[in-house]
Structure 1
Amino acid sequence: MNFPILDSISKQFKKHPFVYGGVVFILALPVLLHFIFWGLVASKAPEYNGLKKHPFIKTNVTVIRDANGIPHIDAGDSLSAYFALGYTIAQDRLFQMELQRRIGRGDLTELFGDKLLESDKFLKSLLLKKTAEEYANSEKHLYPGAWEELDAFLTGVNAFVEEGNFPIEYTILGTKPRPFNRIDAISFLFYMGFSFAEGIKTDSLYTILESELKDRNVHELFPRYDLEKGATILESQPGSPKLSSNSDSDRTLRNDSTWKARSEYSTNNISPQSGTDTIALRRLIDEVSNLILPIEPLEGSNSWLIAPSRSASGGAILANDPHIALSNPGAWYEAHIRFPGYENYGYFLSILPFPLIAHNKDKAWGLTMLEQDDVNLYSEIVSGDKVMEKGKWVPLQTYSDPILVKGKDPIPFEIKISSHGPIITEHIKGYMGKPVSLYWAHHHLPNPLLDVIYQMGRSTSFRELDSASSLIGAPGLNFSYADSKGNIAYYSVGRFPILKSGNSRKILDGSTGENDVIGYLPSSQNPKIINPKNGIIITANNMVTSQKLPGLGYPEGNWQPRDRFLRLADVLGRQDKWTLEDMASLQTDTVSSFAPRYLEIALPSLEKVKSRSAKQALGILKAWNFEHDLNSQGGAVYDVFFYLALKNIVIDELGEDKFKLYGDFAEYWNAYRGIIQNPDSKFWDDQNTKNTIETREDILIRSLEDTASYLEEHVSRSPSLWRWKNLYKIKHPHPLGVIPLIGKIFDIGPLPGPGGAEVVNNLKYKLMKEDWTATSGPSKRRVIDYGRFDESVTQLPIGNSGNLGSPFYGNLVKDYINGVHRKILFSEKSYSEGKYRLEFKPFLK
């Protein structure tokens, strides 16, 4: 058979061999590089089968990975077990562990270069490394065994490092890992407890806007729960259709006079009037907003408990899904570990040996963020090495922590510390205002987090778990507990600071002592619910209580919007008995609880829209079932309308930059709800139009017209294609995803999926930045049913391994997107036939 084109190429190649040889090489180069890259990746794949001998091992250890890549570790003693756990996690997550320790220490510049310099300066200013050193190097620890097992874990990690087969990220960056130590682990544990973005930015923005918006009530933009009713953890749990009331909750709600009392704050705080101070605070906000951090701290979560009286199986049920920034690899490493006297199936931060969330045959616990306000900002008066405190000059403390720079000499770096905390503005480029210090409860209280999570895993009852967790100073957490005996319990942990006076939502004057923290609510008085008569306990980062707490008053917090809590309470109050399958399905629920009320207000006005496309959008809203599934037209129209109405309400007051910043806070959701229901709010008037005062109706009509135009431009000219899947995506970004050409190999997504902002399946996007790609969401889902223990289920967003050469890299992403839970393999019989089996034995000389 003849191929004329090939004959022609052959003739030309003979005439011009160098020219055509070059062309062939250029065309073949991408293919060649492809095979070289993936060959290198394959050479770095973890060895999941085989035998390892090490002098640290005292008894035989078996690591069986099941079909989903979850390791089940069985050992004859605790130290050998934790050595194997450290080695096992390092096989899958070594580069993530590298990032974790560098974030905790503020050593990102050494790995990534100067572009991470400002991030390192800020991280070092948080004193995470300093407090980790003080804690780890203490001569007395509550539980010495915790530190022995941490050391065993790190020995296992370092045994893997010594073998020298590092994942491909190290090759790309041209570096190798050094051994891991205690400070690496503890500094990152402390980092995960600090949700700095919310407190620092909200307090600063509140202060700026109070100065700038002379004819607006800035409190409307920062209402927290002042306008909310029926959505607090202690008072608002759902009853049963057979119960006339929930006798364990008085359901008393704050009335208008209470709201007024809470709003009358002391004026003893800084409200900068000068342009210099306002500009300086903007610089502080910009600095925090633009930090490059490969791993974000915890930010939200859902959790609920079903008592045996409300469970179809007759056993207590725990459902929990913590919300964290989406990433590759994911936040949690799932593993099952047992040795004589201990067994837990848990979810680990890769750099730590003890699970933060776990269960066994006797008990299960989950967590959400409490969101109490344990962060304040103070304006300081500094002169040289002294600071004004309570009207007197006192010396500033200092802490030196040089910044390590890739390929260069270390940069000297010193943090100045007042009695309130580290001064965080001194090293911000271009900051010219008053020094601002950061008060964080973690800096002022004992905070033995490692000892606590160690002891939680060994506790045998909710009282022991409560006793262990009550030692946490920060962060604030909601613990949910269920056990095989039928108990369910909720308790909040973390301390509530008590201010002498002042509004903790704004920057406080640090010079007089009048705004200082003068104590903390005793942990014994933190809110709790134990075995309530109604048989259900829900938490969703909502306000903990509407009542005053002794010595504290009304608790302050960065409470998340009440939408998820209300949806869960509504559903769980509809019937008496619930199954495991019901609870798993509810975890992926996408109904907007606010949408019915919002549309009830908006639809009468929207009948007046004029354009054909806006009328089509109106028709879609009228027919919508309030869900955000893949093919939902209503979900797409509603969320764009929600966004553009909010933008039209406040963009004229805030401006583009502050509007985008405001979208980073939970506050805007609560504020929006209040403004929508208040036709007399001054924010409805558009300040950009002269001689016209816009009404709520005017802005809503404009916003739906804008919505139709937006969807036509960004989705399709055809309304039939205005579907959620064509607007909204879910992405799990890798830290190296920004590298040209090969970076996208590491990212997983973007992929279309159900979910949205402030629905139970809370996959949130950057609304004010018009980025419809979800950036945070459930970091794992789990339902434990003690009436059907062996049928309990879970999900991981993408899988257990972060090693590109592993068969478990991204293997679970489709199940996560589609809301498919998998059975938890707890019994030895269920996983003993796993394909991958790695054994550790003592090294005998």
Structure 2
Amino acid sequence: MKKFIRVLTWLALGVLVLAGLAGLSAHLFLRSTWPQEAGRLALGGLTGPVVVERDGHGVVRVRAESLEDLLFAQGVVHAQERLWQMEFQRRVGQGRLSEVLGEATLPQDRFLRTWGFYRAAQAAYARLLPEEKRAVDAYVAGVNAYLATRPPLPLEFRLLGFQPEPWTGPDVLVWAKMMSYDLSANWDTELLRYRLLARGLSPERIAQLLPPYPEDAPTILREPALPKEEEKPLKALLDLSRRLPRFLEASNNWVVAGSRTATGKPFLADDPHLSLGVPSLWFLMALEAPGFKAIGASLPGVPGIVIGRNERIAWGVTNVGADVQDLYVMEEAPGGYRYKGRVVPYRVREEVIRVKGGREERLKVRETVYGPVISDALEDRPKNPLALRWVSLDPEDHILMAYLGINRASKWDEFQKALSYYSAPSQNFVYADVDGNIGYTAPGRFPIRRPGHTGLYPVPGTGEWDWQGFVPYEAWPRAFNPKEGYVVTANHRVTPPGYPYTLALEWAEPYRARRIEEMLRAKPRLSLEDMKAVQLDQKSLLYQDFRPVLEALTPLSERGRTWRARLLAWDGTMAPSSEEALAFALWYTELTRLPEREVGEAHWDEPRYLLRAFKEGDKNCDQPGTEYQETCLDFAALALERALERKEALKAKTWGEVHRATFAHPVLSHTPLSRLSDREVAFGGDRYTVNVGPFDPATLRMTKGPSYRQIVDLADPEASLFVHPMGQSGHLLAPHAADLLPLWARGEYLPMRFAEPPRRQLVLEPLR
């Protein structure tokens, strides 16, 4: 998934030039693909007029006379601005990239078809609730009505030589499945541990390399959510959870009560950390119809507002990182596999993958009682088949019903009722309302496993380790007006000791959570400017933890002594203008090489394993090929020299010169047209700063980060703020294709207002 696509040849570009661009400038050609933004547009399927306004930044506000017309119009607008993105996303979910991109994407399609994302979307669509289905169908009708006008297609369609097919209901639902996949990584970490076992590592050693979440680290909830008498049956499992590893990090959000703010009313902030690309993942919109009024970030291809506010409440989301996936090792037998004492035949489905040029590939996918045998689609196949059990492949999925209810909720009880429909990916929802209430809920289908089944390693698929049910709605983690006066979520552990269920055993390092709490506690009364400062903060608590290692090591050169002194005098802020930030990032990157020989991976970014090694010693510190037995501090000193050598080779003065937030088009970035599509900007931070800046150790480039920022002021909701990188338009060279990128990079925002002077107005009207 993450490697995505390496396609499109110079020959294809030549065909484009001959067929489409001959005699025209690129600008004029691309301009012909931009959507109609003013005047009137007649569309079949509308029941009344709809007003679509675009402001000076391309933010869209839509007003309709019914909810169905509103969502129809949202489908129209999404298709106008992001048709290629929507097409690409649904083809990813369908496993149909090779039809238009050729042989290069066959491995991707095999993987996607094996998992069965689109089959799951089809099953979920067939089981939608009536209200939910009307919303999906209205949105789909809007997309198709726009396509029926035969609009000029975006460049990507012309380049690849195909027309978009009509949209269907499962096309909407499949992108929610893909988002759930991106935010549910436990299967991958189970495989990692499985491979480490195969390398001869013991479970005890693996637990050292992947240390447990610290017992003294913050949790989102401070007190058990359920009565004490319900804790006893799972006490042993709770004790186990404190000894096992963590993983996954993706976002920040927090909500602060009026007792801690200068306005006397809450603030709510959110910044989901997801992939950065061309175009942006999000699309800013305000939607208004009788009984429905919401503004915030929408997902092209999906109806409604995902993160935002209405006139009375605001909400934000971060990834819980719940463990809702398990791999089962199947014991094969003649005629099938062994399950509950008998041999069960595999169900085999055939997937036909069409490849550009006319060839077809027939893929046979084995299905078990748990789900598909996904190891058949892995390049490095384990000896025994591995089947996947995952809640997002279940036939019932009412996530859209949840979001429709959230968009319309006016108080906590209505918000909770809406979340009762929520399944996956589980999210940390923070809440605030104009009455001054704040709250938190982690909704989702959380599996209950037998004691002894941690979910961290694949288990035998014999029936012995089947799930025992799901955590009941009443027991979901939640808090309403907590005594602390705030809730912070940064993908760290949700529940405190005493909570009777295990949601996950892998959590993000607590650096971001600690830093956010530190800043929220720094003042008795917090302002909107303080919320911005927290969201944009790039002070590294990772540096603070590794500073004692710098103090203890003995530099190997005069250059090393100079830089050791500079780093010890530095405050740890990973600013793009900082040279010390560059040196520290390079040094830490070299430190992550410590267990390379043991784990078979070049970089092992596990700070607590590394800190323990430098404090207590570790067998990986002794370097091969030398007579001297090196200590871990020797390794740290050598790492500093290597980092400084790399810094000199880079010829870079500051962190931002090499640490670039990179926005690449999924197709065009590998052609000469990348100069029209791709963007990059200097950025600060690292994986552990609040304003996050994770980077590839090899290139130092950043391809994930704050995909959207939002700050809601519940004292004056129209004073709220939002922004996302790149721009609103998915059309190359359009005025709003990349106009928000400089604002985002500088930490600036747009007003998050329902009322904003329009720059363009388009009236959608029924086709007569």
With structure 1 as the length reference, what TM-score do the two structures score?
Answer: 0.83
Aligned partner of 1:735 in structure 2 is: 666
Aligned partner of 1:392 in structure 2 is: 342
1:88 has 2:77 as partner: yes
- SS of the residue aligned with 1:402? strand
| Deviation at residue 260 of structure 1 after TM alignment | 7.4
1:570 has 2:539 as partner: no
Task: Determine which of 219, 244, 249 is the counterpart of 2:207.
Answer: 219
Q: Deviations over 1:26-78 (max 9, x none)?
A: xx99xx97953322101111111110112322222111100110111111122
C-alpha separation in 2, matches of 1:774 and 1:90: 29
- Gap change, CA 1:218 and 1:428, over 3 Å in 2: closer
| Deviation at residue 149 of structure 1 after TM alignment | 2.4
1:208-287 matches, cutoff 5 A? 208-214=195-201, 217-225=205-213, 227-235=214-222, 261-262=240-241
- Gap change, CA 1:33 and 1:474, over 3 Å in 2: same
AA partner of residue 639 (structure 2): S
Task: Determine which of 294, 319, 329 is the counterpart of 1:344.
Answer: 294
C-alpha separation in 2, matches of 1:389 and 1:82: 46
Aligned partner of 2:677 in structure 1 is: 746
Aligned partner of 1:714 in structure 2 is: 650
AA partner of residue 164 (structure 2): P
Deviates more, 1:531-540 or 1:691-700: 691-700
1:816 has 2:759 as partner: no
Q: Deviations over 1:382-415 (max 9, x none)?
A: 3465221123212323334322322324432332
Aligned partner of 2:439 in structure 1 is: 489
- Gap change, CA 1:50 and 1:178, over 3 Å in 2: same
Aligned partner of 1:701 in structure 2 is: 637
Does the CA-based 8 Å contact 2:72-2:138 persist in structure 1? yes
Aligned partner of 2:574 in structure 1 is: 628
Task: Determine which of 337, 352, 357 is the counterpart of 1:402.
Answer: 352
Aligned partner of 1:804 in structure 2 is: 732
Does the CA-based 8 Å contact 1:233-1:543 persist in structure 2? yes
Q: Deviations over 1:335-367 (max 9, x none)?
A: 001011210002111001112112112011110
1:835 has 2:759 as partner: yes
Does the CA-based 8 Å contact 1:305-1:537 persist in structure 2? yes
1:763 has 2:693 as partner: yes
Does the CA-based 8 Å contact 2:117-2:393 persist in structure 1? no
1:477 has 2:427 as partner: yes
1:588 has 2:588 as partner: no
Aligned partner of 1:176 in structure 2 is: 163
C-alpha separation in 2, matches of 1:501 and 1:121: 35
Does the CA-based 8 Å contact 1:510-1:516 persist in structure 2? no
Does the CA-based 8 Å contact 1:502-1:515 persist in structure 2? no
- Gap change, CA 1:95 and 1:753, over 3 Å in 2: same
Aligned partner of 2:9 in structure 1 is: none
- Gap change, CA 1:107 and 1:765, over 3 Å in 2: same
AA partner of residue 842 (structure 1): P
1:489-568 matches, cutoff 5 A? 489-504=439-454, 506-550=456-500, 552=501, 554-568=502-516
Task: Determine which of 29, 50, 53 is the counterpart of 2:39.
Answer: 50
- Gap change, CA 1:567 and 1:33, over 3 Å in 2: farther
Aligned partner of 2:417 in structure 1 is: 467
1:104 has 2:93 as partner: yes
Does the CA-based 8 Å contact 2:371-2:389 persist in structure 1? yes
C-alpha separation in 2, matches of 1:39 and 1:632: 41
- Gap change, CA 1:81 and 1:742, over 3 Å in 2: same
- Gap change, CA 1:402 and 1:689, over 3 Å in 2: same
- Gap change, CA 1:258 and 1:571, over 3 Å in 2: farther
C-alpha separation in 2, matches of 1:699 and 1:260: 35
Aligned partner of 1:780 in structure 2 is: 708
Task: Determine which of 177, 188, 191 is the counterpart of 1:190.
Answer: 177
C-alpha separation in 1, matches of 2:628 and 2:405: 64
Aligned partner of 2:231 in structure 1 is: none
| Deviation at residue 200 of structure 1 after TM alignment | 2.8
C-alpha separation in 1, matches of 2:397 and 2:454: 22
Task: Determine which of 110, 123, 130 is the counterpart of 1:134.
Answer: 123
C-alpha separation in 2, matches of 1:73 and 1:555: 39
Aligned partner of 1:618 in structure 2 is: 564
AA partner of residue 220 (structure 1): Q
1:156 has 2:80 as partner: no
Indicate the structure (1 or 2) with the bigger Cα radius of gyration: 1
C-alpha separation in 1, matches of 2:608 and 2:81: 40
Aligned partner of 1:825 in structure 2 is: 753
Does the CA-based 8 Å contact 1:45-1:805 persist in structure 2? no
C-alpha separation in 2, matches of 1:391 and 1:669: 44
Q: Which runs of 5 or more residues in structure 2 are unaligned? A: 1-16, 228-235
Q: Deviations over 1:273-320 (max 9, x none)?
A: xxxxxxxxxxxxxxxxxxxxxxxxx96110000111111111111000
Identity of aligned pairs, percent? 27
C-alpha separation in 1, matches of 2:410 and 2:184: 36
Q: Deviations over 1:710-731 (max 9, x none)?
A: 1111235xxxx2x212221111
Deviates more, 1:227-236 or 1:589-598: 227-236
Q: Deviations over 1:755-781 (max 9, x none)?
A: 3221011121123xx221111011110
- Gap change, CA 1:592 and 1:428, over 3 Å in 2: closer
- Gap change, CA 1:404 and 1:383, over 3 Å in 2: farther
C-alpha separation in 2, matches of 1:430 and 1:367: 35
Aligned partner of 1:15 in structure 2 is: none
- SS of the residue aligned with 1:764? coil
Aligned partner of 1:377 in structure 2 is: 327
C-alpha separation in 1, matches of 2:579 and 2:237: 41
- Gap change, CA 1:344 and 1:743, over 3 Å in 2: same
Task: Determine which of 613, 616, 633 is the counterpart of 1:679.
Answer: 616
Q: Deviations over 1:145-194 (max 9, x none)?
A: 33222222212212222223111111111111111110111111111112
- Gap change, CA 1:819 and 1:384, over 3 Å in 2: farther
Aligned partner of 1:603 in structure 2 is: 550
C-alpha separation in 2, matches of 1:158 and 1:329: 21
